Structure 1
């Protein structure tokens, strides 16, 4: 369903230089900004993404520029990613479902898995070296692809990577965005988090998570989010001067840990009484809220840059997304573990439950999107690949890989949705931070079709079923009362995995592959 939201006169005034419903589509190739946030939960914003009602968590955060973008364009209320960073980023770059590209957990060092160990199951040999550029076929446990930025580059775009990459293992070509189709690489490498957000600490120089490429800011009192934004704006401006359309992949390290103190914003949150917790925010949560606001300021600075050049703004598409659910564990986040952090969704990053995969998403497409609307089209991260190419007007291209993603451009242009879209997740791995199978962590696969979400836990072979329309918190398991629905979804999930030859864990005791969900 496509809904039109009410706008204030002030909101409409701020949109003037960005165009309105009546604006004619630009004739030139549009600039495209893919603004990706790391570890941001769907409620970590003052923009409501559930039933268009402001939640208690929404009142915690101050994200005026996300509100601004929501007024400008379309808010998607059914957006999903993988539950872990690298799989999402590899799907975005390749258009493939994780079950096909097989980079199913986070990557870092060459030839090293990052999974936790188990006495019950052994894990398949997934592609822990990540995605790689075409021609890098000799690298084992990796997937060579025709990347999204490479296709854009081949079609006249200047492609800019800014921030976190995290789609290839260290020392492989895929570690370097410049070898993955980007003309410019700002601070992107194998690391999935910053060693530090602080310029005074040289962004973690000397650690395995050090951020490289920002040496000119070393020793300065500047936050990483700000430094990346300054560099992104400089490169956008360079593209404008070159009169070349640009694709900016603004991929923030924020809001991933460590929760270094962004003193520009943390003071307003420290000790603030919180409605969700019924308690004051602790130091960790205050710093987290500041990270969120710093990310939001980056979005605002980019919008301000575009606003200063109306002819550029009128020809620039902006897509906003997060790479996985917000952290649901109370070792870093305040509150009852797996309940408070992404409420009303259950659990968080790494989990099969909605808290692990549901994301905040917005799109502004001048002359196409209607200001202040929302869209219930179901979207998953691999859909961005064909969508961005369609937005860019790239109609004829060849890829090495099979594309699983489905363009959602028609949902923006024609304001219609496909209510039958089915989504699949495959994580035959063990995330290192928790193995709480009850809360959806551990090795799993899942399917979302219609109102029903089926989760299969590989180790226990348990099938759980939830009606997420009526029970977004996934508290009422319907598997026993709806066996026919379980059977239907288990077969569809299994057929999807079989078609992609998806890898499966093995039971150590019997040394046999664990059966597919429909073989239970």
Structure 2
């Protein structure tokens, strides 16, 4: 018996240092804050993402974005998808939307959200969103980013909007997708109310999916705003990570600045004083409230001496909303970009992006490399030191680390595609906000509008506003890019809409030119 006890004692003594090494290795892994804003336009900030200051830059006040940009790398040509759920699924899976087929925003189980159209109908896209298990109908099965991070020692936090799966599906619950902490995330795509005094829109007489903001009841009946309450919860979650001595991955996914445009009393008055309409002033206050949240999280890192070991990524999930109740004529809100949310023109897909990787990214630097949301899947795994991982899906994203290390590095040969075989909102005012697929290669952008059976070609370097269609002028280049787009769509097994007249799938892009 004594020999057994002695052997156990020796084993524990030998094990102890290795436990310490393992814990130390975890503590040395970088923390990650991925700060995602909902519906924020490329220029909806006092930080310019173009070569010139725009009217929008002068309208909005985002001092904390300015502070972050001064210590980070800014990407002026970063992209997401044109609506929210496709972007969020691409971020969690590393897949292009053409491949994962969650091409539109999700609502309730098995329910399509596409508006009826007189000529086209959408394909059977994955209306149920993301699934962590195989075999669920109308869903994409994938190994998620937070799952891999959690398996490698990270405390994974979902705070704010989730919207990865439809109501009534497993993917609607972030805790089933690799997050170990969920605050406020469900199938809801926007809040019923930002006001805690309204219980964020909760109605005991009627279930409203937009009011499903879980784990936030303690703020009900208070005079607070959803943006600040989510920020407070994010800080508490980071406290937990420190107590259990784990690196954290905070997916800080604000519902702001999505509709409804409700006044954040902390920030709205100066915008009203400047003469903005009430909805536009409320929008500007949502922007500033979001920026204030960013500042609070940065201050938290400073107070807890975490700044040097925490990567911050700031991005939006799609282009800015460009219709009423926004101030101004339709589709002018994202100037100099054309279009807005729902469109494959630049205004619908180009996003503000700032990355701070302490010791790696050069403070105040700018990269002109075009990148996209799914690139963060391999990028964040790489910076977390996770090298040997397996996924059930093919990852389309490409690591950005070489660009983060060198702001001058460019790959103009990269091909990126978008696929939106859906009808976003219908209506004449939203023409060219639906039924489209597109490609970018170098400075060239090709868009295929499926309802019109039309190709448009733009040179983004010379024409960022996409005002001069060169398809007829440059037919050989148009044909070449159409063939590349077709090949990419086929590689992804992408879906296209159906022509109601013929009952057949619309032609591939290259069929319009051959």
TM-score (norm 1): 0.91
**Whole-angstrom distance in 2 between the partners of 1:247 and 1:164:** 15
Q: Output the aligned Cα RMSD.
A: 1.4
Q: CA deviation at 1:422?
A: 1.9
Q: CA deviation at 1:424?
A: 0.5
Partner of residue 472, structure 1:
464
**Whole-angstrom distance in 1 between the partners of 2:237 and 2:54:** 37
Q: How does 1:318-337 map to 2 (within 5 A)?
A: 318-329=312-323, 331-337=324-330
TM-score (norm 2): 0.92
**Whole-angstrom distance in 1 between the partners of 2:373 and 2:427:** 24
Q: CA deviation at 1:437?
A: 6.5
Question: Does residue 400 in structure 1 map to residue 395 in structure 2?
Answer: no
- Which of 276, 279, 285 is the aligned partner of 2:280? 285
Partner of residue 216, structure 1:
218
Partner of residue 149, structure 1:
146
Q: CA deviation at 1:138?
A: 3.4
Determine if contact 2:187/2:209 at 8 Å carries over to the other structure: no
Q: How does 1:413-424 map to 2 (within 5 A)?
A: 413-415=405-407, 416-424=409-417
Determine if contact 2:412/2:441 at 8 Å carries over to the other structure: no
Partner of residue 352, structure 2:
360
Partner of residue 385, structure 1:
377
Question: Does residue 39 in structure 1 map to residue 47 in structure 2?
Answer: no
Determine if contact 2:88/2:163 at 8 Å carries over to the other structure: yes
- Structure 2 vs 1, CA of residues 271 and 335 (structure 1 numbering), >3 Å: closer, same or farther? farther
Q: CA deviation at 1:447?
A: 0.5
**Whole-angstrom distance in 1 between the partners of 2:489 and 2:135:** 26
Q: CA deviation at 1:414?
A: 3.7
Determine if contact 1:164/1:251 at 8 Å carries over to the other structure: yes
Partner of residue 303, structure 1:
298
Question: Does residue 516 in structure 1 map to residue 508 in structure 2?
Answer: yes
SS state of the match for residue 512, structure 1? coil
- Structure 2 vs 1, CA of residues 27 and 234 (structure 1 numbering), >3 Å: closer, same or farther? closer
Q: CA deviation at 1:436?
A: 4.8
**Whole-angstrom distance in 2 between the partners of 1:405 and 1:465:** 25
Question: Does residue 176 in structure 1 map to residue 173 in structure 2?
Answer: yes
Q: CA deviation at 1:421?
A: 2.0
Partner of residue 484, structure 1:
476
Partner of residue 196, structure 2:
199
Determine if contact 1:115/1:430 at 8 Å carries over to the other structure: yes
What are the Cα deviations for residues 114-145 of structure 1, in whole angstroms up to 9, with x where unaligned? 00001211210000000111x2x232100111
Determine if contact 1:271/1:286 at 8 Å carries over to the other structure: no
**Whole-angstrom distance in 1 between the partners of 2:255 and 2:426:** 19
Determine if contact 2:117/2:426 at 8 Å carries over to the other structure: no
**Whole-angstrom distance in 2 between the partners of 1:81 and 1:138:** 27
Q: CA deviation at 1:27?
A: 8.4
- Which of 225, 245, 248 is the aligned partner of 1:246? 248
Q: CA deviation at 1:435?
A: 5.6
**Whole-angstrom distance in 2 between the partners of 1:451 and 1:372:** 24
What are the Cα deviations for residues 325-381 of structure 1, in whole angstroms up to 9, with x where unaligned? 00111x221101112x00000110001110000000000001111111111111111
Q: Which has the larger radius of gyration?
A: 2
- Structure 2 vs 1, CA of residues 295 and 434 (structure 1 numbering), >3 Å: closer, same or farther? farther
Question: Does residue 92 in structure 1 map to residue 91 in structure 2?
Answer: yes
Question: Does residue 410 in structure 1 map to residue 402 in structure 2?
Answer: yes
**Whole-angstrom distance in 2 between the partners of 1:413 and 1:463:** 37
User: How many residues matched?
Assistant: 482
Partner of residue 427, structure 1:
420
**Which residues of structure 2 form unaligned runs of 5+?**
1-25
SS state of the match for residue 307, structure 1? helix
SS state of the match for residue 412, structure 1? helix
**Whole-angstrom distance in 2 between the partners of 1:437 and 1:186:** 34
